[in-house]
Structure 1
Amino acid sequence: MAAAPAMGFRLVESAQQRWRAVNAPHLVALVRAGARFERGHFVGRSESHAA
């Protein structure tokens, strides 16, 4: 039973080397709230979250 979590850990560990780091953590909350960015510039909130 311990083989599955160990394999999952190894897969995540190897994939982590290819992941791109978040270079603007202060903007993550805006994205989660529905903000839209185009080419790195804020353009507004999406209509579905603007209520």
Structure 2
Amino acid sequence: HDPLPTFVTAKSRLELEESTMFQRAARETGSSSTPTALVANTTAPDSEPPP
């Protein structure tokens, strides 16, 4: 079994998924008034490959 990801890795993946969901919802509604945010994180290199 793969070990559980670190908190920072899990948080980063969750933020990426939320960002993707918001962008998809904005495209589907065709609304440019939907607020968007860009979140950038700097983390130590992980030994895990990206998903």
Shorter-chain TM-score range: 0.3 to 0.5
Tell me the TM-score normalised to structure 2 length: 0.35
Tell me the TM-score normalised to structure 1 length: 0.35
Structure of greater relative contact order (alpha carbons < 8 Å, 6+ residues apart): 2
Larger relative strand fraction: 1
